Every structure is written in structure tokens, then in C-alpha cells.
């Protein structure tokens, strides 16, 4: 089909698919569609907006044979905002500083317990079920925020881009599962809820925690930052001997 | 809004510079967050504008993880090959980390409040 102005629909698609505009627009559309679905489901944690948007985009890109790199040329503008958004977490953190300071001791102990549990239970279970070493090293830092996790995986000998994916999946799992776990544990303190989500599931857990309230969000942001620092310090020291011991 | 965004970027930039200078294993934005936090503590709080901009940005925090999440399509083969250990390890370790953190924090916190 050739319209009056010259270019066929196929050519237009090829042109648009290669420009950053399409990847960016699709990301915003998919996310807003996902938020709409989430609202229709009464905000149910299983209808997680990141999960829905990612599934929709992967399906669309696979169906049209568009490579991830082409998509990311456009989506990188959204991805870039992660930096300033991380800096902006200082503001809710500051607003909750009084309570954070009062709880400093318990927070640090809980952080250590949760951080070690997250990394080593993942490696042990993966090893037990026969995952390859590259997968195990990529799995170990999955509870911390993407850029830190990728750096740790690289130092350990894992695959940083696989780690990025495992980090996102972990975040979605934490965001989806946390409230059910809190109900089972009868845990109602917003500070405790937020902090545990931040330790286990970094920024996506924090995004979910902000939906529960500013206090949960601030505690989650703090946990995310601290767990990033702690895991970066602990894993390169502790994991290689553990892996040798496991054989 | 423009001034607030500029401020956030400046703190991020300072964070990146510090990371490069000291060869830290931590990303620049996390250091930037620490610097901004210190500045807020010194100044006694954010301006109305900065607070509003931060709220807008954090309200859509989930959106910012979508591009990296779509990267799953690069690893579909490996994940398909090793799906059982990956799925079980992710689910069990994430839920265990949430439960352990929450239990330890609740126990210590309740303990501390009883003492005081």
C-alpha cells in the first residue's frame, strides 16, 4: 500500500521502530495501561504494574521482532530518571529521620540478618537444585538495587545483565508477596513493613512501600540504600569461600 | 520544578564524581542521596518546590524499572534452561529475607520499647 505522500506502511514502521520515539512512547503507554489494570483489580499486589508492563512490552517486541537494543534506545530516557529518583529518596528519608534515629540499633541488626538471608539462601537453594556457577554468582546480589547488583555480579564472575533481570524479578516478587506475608505474621507496623521490603526487594519494593504510606516508603528507601552498601562490602569477601566449600 | 530537577542532577553528579575519584563499589546516585540527605539535615528540610518534585518523581518510581525489566528477553534461554533453581531460589530467598528482617526488627524494637 502506497499512500499519496510516498512511504508505505512497512517503511513507516521500519523508520519509527528505529527511532527512540517509539520505545519511549511504548514504555509510557504500557506502564499507564498497567496502572489502569492495577486500579481495576482494586490495587491487588498480584496485578503489579512493573510485571504487567514488562510482560506486555516483551510480548510486543517479540511479536514484531524488535531487538531489545532498539527498544532501549528510546526507553533509556525513562531508565535515566532512576538516578535523580534515587537522589530524591533523601527527602522522605529526612522527613522520617526522627523515628529512623530512635530505631537505629534494631534497624542495623535486622538489616544484617535480612541481607545475609537474601543472598545466601538464594545461592544455597540454587546450588541444591543444580544451577550453574555463572547463574549462582548472578543470583547472589539480586536483592540490592540494579547498579550495585550489576557491579557485584561482575566482580564475582556472574553475568551483570542476567543479574539486572533477576534483580527486577526479585523486586516484583517482594512487591507482590510482602503484604500476604505480613498478614500471616500479623505485622502491622509501617516502619517494619517498609524496612523489610527495602532489604529484600530494593527499589521496586520501595515503590510498593510508598503506596502503603510515606513512613513505609522512607524506611524502605533507607533499607534499600543500606543493603546496597552492606551487600557490596560482604558478598565479594564471603561468597567465594562459600562456593569453594560447596564444591 | 526546573530548579529542583537541576538540584537533584547536581547531587547525582557530585555522587558520580566521588565514586569515580575514590573508586567506590557503590553507584553515584546512592552517594548523591547521602549528600542531599546531609544537606537537608543541615538546612532543616527541603523547599516546597523540591518536596513537590521529589513526590512527583517517586510517585512513578515503578515506571523507571520497566526498561531494565524488559531486558528479561535477552536471557529467556538461560532462564528457560535453569528455570527450576532460579524460580525456587528467587521466591524462597525473597520471602525468607522479608520474614527474617521483619521478625528481627519487630522483636528488637518491641524489646527496646519495653525497656525504655
**DSSP readout, A109-121?**
HHHHHHHHHHHHH
- Say yes or no: B36 and B89 in one domain: no
- Say yes or no: A107 and A75 in one domain: no
Structural domain of residue A237, as residue ranges? 88-247
- Say yes or no: A1 and A98 in one domain: no
Q: Mean pLDDT throughout B73-78?
A: 89
Contact A122, B93 (CB under 8 A): yes
> Residue A88: which of B8, B74, B102 has the nearest Cβ?
B8
Residues 12-41 on B with a CB inside 8 Å of A are: 12, 15, 25-30, 32-34, 36-37, 40-41
- Say yes or no: B43 and B92 in one domain: no
- Say yes or no: A205 and A138 in one domain: yes
- Say yes or no: A144 and A200 in one domain: yes
Cβ burial, residue B100 (10 Å; 0-12/13-18/19+): buried
- Percent with pLDDT over 70 in chain B: 94
Structural domain of residue B72, as residue ranges? 67-116
- Say yes or no: A120 and A164 in one domain: yes
The answer to whether the CB atoms of B26 and A196 lie below 8 A apart is: no
pLDDT at A2 over 60: no
The predicted complex's ipTM stands at: 0.90
The answer to whether the CB atoms of A84 and B65 lie below 8 A apart is: no
- What is the 8-class DSSP label of residue A48? -
Domain's final residue, options A80, A109, A137: A80
Residues 147-176 on A with a CB inside 8 Å of B are: 147-148, 151-152, 155, 159, 161-162, 164-174
What residue of A is the nearest CA neighbor of B73? A58
CA dist B43 and B48 (Å) reads: 13
Residues A86-144 pLDDT 10s: 899 899 889 888 888 899 999 999 999 999 999 999 999 999 999 999 999 999 999 99
Instruction: Count the domains in chain A.
Output: 2
Domain's final residue, options A80, A99, A133: A80
Q: In degrees, to the nearest 5, what angle opens at C-alpha B64 toward C-alphas A148 and A112?
A: 35
Instruction: Count the domains in chain B.
Output: 2
Cβ burial, residue A242 (10 Å; 0-12/13-18/19+): middle
Residues A27-61 pLDDT 10s: 999 999 999 999 999 888 889 999 999 999 999 99
CA dist A1 and B76 (Å) reads: 36
Cell of B57: 518523581
- Say yes or no: A60 and A119 in one domain: no
CA dist A133 and A16 (Å) reads: 41
Residues A201-229 pLDDT 10s: 999 999 999 999 989 999 999 999 889 88
Domain's final residue, options A80, A102, A126: A80
- Say yes or no: B14 and B45 in one domain: yes
What residue of B is the nearest CA neighbor of A162? B75
pLDDT at B86 over 90: yes
- Say yes or no: A163 and A183 in one domain: yes
3-state secondary structure of A132: coil
Amino acid at each position: 500500500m502506497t499512500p499519496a505522500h510516498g512511504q508505505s506502511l512497512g517503511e513507516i514502521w521500519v523508520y519509527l521502530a528505529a527511532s527512540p520515539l517509539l520505545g519511549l512512547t511504548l514504555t509510557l503507554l504500557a506502564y499507564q495501561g498497567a496502572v489502569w489494570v492495577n486500579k481495576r483489580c482494586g490495587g491487588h499486589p498480584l496485578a503489579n504494574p512493573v510485571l504487567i508492563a514488562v510482560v506486555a512490552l516483551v510480548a510486543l517486541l517479540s511479536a514484531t521482532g524488535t531487538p531489545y537494543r532498539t527498544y532501549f534506545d528510546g526507553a533509556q530516557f525513562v531508565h535515566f530518571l532512576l538516578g535523580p529518583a534515587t537522589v530524591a529518596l533523601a527527602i522522605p528519608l529526612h522527613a522520617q529521620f526522627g523515628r529512623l534515629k530512635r530505631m537505629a540499633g534494631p534497624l542495623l541488626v535486622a538489616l544484617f540478618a535480612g541481607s545475609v538471608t537474601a543472598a545466601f539462601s538464594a545461592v544455597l537453594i540454587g546450588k541444591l537444585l543444580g544451577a550453574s556457577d555463572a547463574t549462582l554468582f548472578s543470583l547472589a546480589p539480586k536483592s540490592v538495587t540494579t547498579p550495585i547488583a550489576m557491579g557485584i555480579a561482575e566482580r564475582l564472575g556472574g553475568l551483570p545483565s542476567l543479574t539486572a533481570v533477576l534483580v527486577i524479578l526479585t523486586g516484583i516478587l517482594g512487591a507482590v508477596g510482602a503484604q500476604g506475608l505480613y498478614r500471616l505474621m500479623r505485622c502491622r507496623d509501617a516502619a517494619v513493613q517498609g524496612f523489610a521490603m527495602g532489604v529484600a526487594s530494593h527499589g521496586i519494593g520501595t515503590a510498593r512501600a510508598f503506596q502503603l504510606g510515606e513512613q513505609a516508603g522512607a524506611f524502605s528507601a533507607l533499607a534499600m540504600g543500606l543493603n546496597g552498601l552492606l551487600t557490596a562490602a560482604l558478598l565479594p569477601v564471603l561468597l567465594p569461600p562459600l562456593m569453594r566449600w560447596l564444591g | 520544578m526546573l530548579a529542583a530537577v537541576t538540584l537533584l542532577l547536581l547531587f547525582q553528579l557530585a555522587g558520580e564524581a566521588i565514586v569515580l575519584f575514590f573508586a567506590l563499589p557503590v553507584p553515584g546516585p546512592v552517594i548523591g542521596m547521602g549528600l542531599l540527605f546531609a544537606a537537608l539535615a543541615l538546612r532543616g528540610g527541603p523547599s516546597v518546590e523540591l518536596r513537590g518534585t521529589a513526590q512527583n518523581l517517586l510517585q512513578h518510581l515503578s515506571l523507571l524499572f520497566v526498561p531494565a525489566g524488559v531486558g528479561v528477553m535477552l536471557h529467556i534461554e538461560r532462564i528457560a534452561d535453569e528455570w527450576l533453581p532460579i524460580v525456587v531460589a528467587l521466591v524462597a530467598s525473597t520471602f525468607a529475607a522479608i520474614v527474617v528482617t521483619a521478625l528481627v526488627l519487630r522483636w528488637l524494637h518491641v524489646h527496646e520499647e519495653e525497656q525504655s
